[in-house]
Amino acid sequence: MMIGFNMKIFYLNRAEDESGVSGTGRVAQGFVFDNGKVAMTWLSEHPTVTIYDNIGEVHAIHGHGGKTEVIMEPDYKKAFGEMKSFVDNFDLAEIAMSKVPPDGNASKLMAKN
């Protein structure tokens, strides 16, 4: 079975540090693998790595009632691919011609050029 490469990157953004250990702001980062498993490490003096069954566990354990958010990083490679596909297939003349009446003056001018 071939699995796609759709790993997602995330970080924990902590507004309030209840324990006084991890601090506030961006306190941890991790990956969600294609199979749903999660690996996360802390960005602190104690940079342990933990494996979770899913991102829901990370949120349930470290969310602290909304004081810490799981923030997914944008998939820049996918976004670039989508934008490139759009640009590669974009035909301004075709779009413009579809917006003007076929027997109008604008259509006649565009057809000459």
- Per-residue model confidence as pLDDT tens digits over 23-55: 677 888 999 998 999 999 988 887 889 999 999
pLDDT bin (cut points 50, 70, 90) of residue 1 is very low
Classify each residue of 62-81 as buried b or exposed e, where b means 16 or more C-beta atoms within 10 Å of its C-beta: beeeeebebeeeeeeeeeee
pLDDT of residue 82 exceeding 60, the answer is yes
Summarised one tens digit per residue, pLDDT across range 11-24 is 988 876 666 656 67
Helix-strand-coil percent breakdown of the chain, rounded to 5? Answer: 35, 25, 40
Largest CA distance in the chain: 73
